[in-house]
Structure formats: structure tokens, C-alpha cells
Amino acid sequence: MVDTALHERSALRRAAPDRRYEVYAGGSPEAERLLFERLAREMVGAEWADRHGGGPPHLPRACHTRPALAVDNARLRFRDDLPEALRVGYARPGAEYPAVVRLSDASGPERPGAAPDLRGMAVRVLAGPGEAHDLLAAGFPVSHAADAREYVAFAKAMAGVGSAAEQAFGLLVKLPLAVGWSTAARMRRNVHTATRHAVGSLARETFWSRGAILWGDAGPVRYLLRPAPGGTPAPPPDRGDPDYLHRELTQRLATGDICFELCVQRYLDERRTPVEDGSVEWKESDTPVVPVALLTVPRQDLDAAEARSAARRVERLAFHPWHTTEEFRPLGSLNRARRAAYEAGGAHRPALRLTAGAALGHAVLPAPVRAAFGLVNRCVPWHRLPLPPGLRELVDPLRSPRRLTLVDAEPAMGPPRAARSYDRPAEELSPTGLPAS
């Protein structure tokens, strides 16, 4: 008997050779898009449960709400000996670009900064007029979910949890019923490992993309940012200081630069380096790590007025993995799901862009009207409402920020791009799928 899935995969690759590394749910990009739209609606329902479960409604991000570092004066310089095969687009030997860098921890302000947690790095490389590239990475090499279906199942299982007993029920009962016992066990294991790492200094941590991106004709790669050789070792963490990670970076930058190597691992095959399965690690024994550039955060006083102003600018902005060009587009089910949710989300952080006039609109409309819109939004996203109601939603910045949690977003900045633009406000799902608070 013919293997139907294999036949569909081969037909897809013959029909679209530039998509040859990806396998679409349903057999085609259009079928997958319809699926992701449904999954996005399910995610919105899960977020409503989280919102009414007691989480803080005012946070502009659903995760990584507390930055340890936010600067806009970093530099990314590609190596002079950049391998020939990796010389694509803005990746050119010796090329140097300004960059924005944000380091953060996923826990909210109520937890000590050095407590075990999952950390994140977001970088925006300003490659020239009309071109910028976002690089998002986390302090664990793999995702808890293999694909978008598992991602949504995990989020739904954990939606609205408010106690240890509810969390245990979600992880041990609801999740296995949704994805199967072995898959649930693997997801729990990844989450546990990823969030139990104590950090002495974010400057000495490695951050992985976890998903693949295209690197032009070189094909898929996963990237990572690791501490450059040299540098002061991390001190023992002070778990009693909620701002420890920020203070440590402040002290470190007062005496010298912080440098990370941008490295890539190249695709080999679907077994050892899968593109569609974000839960599988690309092992260095299979695909070596190749340094391609150096990211430098220059020595500076983070307590100075100029640095604090820059940090506030960074915090008002949003990164997204699809903020790039076609040559470096994200690959894989999880990344494509993020794009679908991001496009559906639209301006769901209006509080960062509207001003006092918007607040007046909120004050004029009575609470029952706002509540009615909340009920309508459960079935119809605000951006699909007729124009007058949709505009009413836009001028309501004091409500809880709308969150589409398929989106992994971080702050970003940069000029408008001639390439595909995804630089709209966005939220981030906790890397574990748990409520960010």
C-alpha cells in the first residue's frame, strides 16, 4: 500500500521546492492555515480562562515581563572567516550592524530574580534601511511541544490554573487525555528541566532558537547565542534579591563589554535535525556549532538617564520571529502557528500606542457596554467586527491586554521594512505554556 503521508509530502516538495524542508498539516499551506485559525480561537478561549483565573490583567506581556537588560546600542559583527555557504543576505564577512538586545526572565516581579526559571534573549539586528531581523532565543535547547497541536493542548490543559492541585490535575490528567501519556510525560519532563535552572549571570548563559529558520541557499539552521570566550565567571546567585540579575549585569557592564557568539547548526536530515518537531534537540555530535558573528553589548552605566530612557523605548516595542526577510524566514509548525496568531492578533496592545484621547473613550462608555464587548469577543475577534465597534475596541486601552498566546514576542525596534512586516504589537506565551504570572 502506498504511504499516503509520504506521497503527500513528496508531492508538496515537487510543487514548492522552496518549501521542501517543511511538511504542512493537512497536506497544504492553505489547509494548515485553516487549522491554525481554529487553534488560535482555542488559544483565545484558554487565555480567557487564564485572565479570569486571577492573573494580573495589566501586564503588557504575558511572559518575560521583567527585563534584566534592555539596550539599543549593541553591535552585531559577522566573522571575517564566515563560511562561504553561510554568506547570505546581510550575513557577509566583516559586516557590522547596530542591534537591540533584551534579556529577561519569565517569572513575574514577585519571584526573586535568581530563582530557577526559563530565561530569554531577544535581538533585533538593524541591517539597513527597510531591513531588520529579529532573533529570539530561550535558555533551553528545545520546546516542550513538538508542534502547534501540542502547544495548544498544553495551554488548554493549564488554562486558569491557580493552585498546585489544579496544576497537577492539568499536567497529570487533562494533558495526557489530550495528547497521550507518553507525549504528556515528555512535555512535563521538558518543562521541568527548562524551568529548574538557576542562573548566576545572564551574561554567561547560552540561548537557543529551539525552532529552525531558513538561511538562504544554505537551508535550515537553528541558531544559538553563547558567551564569547573569556569574560568573568558568573558569581553565586543571590536568590533573596528580586533584581539580582539586573544588578549583576549592571555591575558587569560598568567594567567591560558583554559579548555573545551567534552560532548556527545546519540541517542534516529529518531524523537527526527535524524542522517540524521543536521538541527534538539538534545534537552537536550530529551537526557542529559554527560561530558566525559576535554580538557586543558595550560597556555602559545602566543607571544613567540615557540608558534608562533607552530601556523604556525597548520596553514599548515588540519582537517577533517573522520580523525578517524571506531569505531568513522561520520554519516549522510552531513558527507558522506563531505567524497565524500574530496576524490575527493585530493591535492587541493598544495601551502602548494610544494616548489620553483613548482613555477618554474608555471612561465615557459604561461598564455594561464594555462587558458586552467582552462577550462578543469570545466569538468574534475585535478586528473582524464592523468598523464602528472595531474602533470602539481600539480606544479601550485600560482593559486587560488582549493576548493571543500562540505568539512568542519580545520588544523590538527598527524602521518600517520593505520586506514582509510583522512589526505589530504582540504578546508572548510563557515558554512552558503556564500562566505568565
Residues 6 or more apart whose CB falls under 8 angstroms from that of 45 comprise 156, 159, 378
Query: Measured between alpha carbons, how far is residue 425 from residues 138, 140, 337, 346, 350 in Å?
Result: 20, 25, 17, 7, 8
Q: Is 36 left (phi over 0), alpha (psi -120 to 50) or beta?
A: alpha
d(CA 265, CA 213): 11
Q: What is the pLDDT of residues 277-300, one digit of tens each?
A: 999 999 999 999 999 999 999 999
* Architecture of the domain whose range is 17-349+408-437: Beta Barrel (2.40)
pLDDT of 240 above 50: yes
> Environment class of residue 198 by beta-carbon count within 10 Å: exposed (0-12), middle (13-18) or buried (19+)?
exposed
End-to-end CA distance of the chain: 51
d(CA 197, CA 109): 18
Q: Is the dihedral of CA 230, 235, 239, 241 positive or negative?
A: negative
Q: Considering the chain, tell me which residue range(s) the CATH 2.40.180.10 domain(s) occupy.
A: 17-349+408-437
**Whole-model pTM?**
0.73
**Strand ranges, E, within 209-257:** 213-214, 220-227
Alpha carbons 99 and 232: distance in angstroms, whole number: 23
Residue 410 has pLDDT above 70, yes or no: no
Lowest mean pLDDT among 60-74, 320-334, 347-361: 347-361
Nearest to 209 by CA among 283, 269, 285, 143: 143
Give residue-wise pLDDT tens across range 31-89: 887 777 777 666 665 555 555 554 444 444 545 567 899 999 999 999 999 999 999 99
DSSP state of 125: E
Mean pLDDT, the chain, whole residue set: 75
CA–CA separation, 235 and 251 (whole Å): 12
What CA–CA distances, in Å, run from 396 to 50, 214, 380, 381?
20, 39, 17, 15
Q: What pLDDT band is residue 436 in, cutting at 50, 70 and 90?
A: very low
Q: What percent of the chain has pLDDT over 70?
A: 65
206 compared with 395, residue with greater pLDDT = 206
Q: For residue 242, what pLDDT is reported? A: 81
For residue 239, list its beta bridge partners.
none
Rounded distance, CA 29 to CA 21, Å? 13
Task: Judge whether residue 131 has pLDDT over 60.
Answer: yes
pLDDT of residue 287: 97
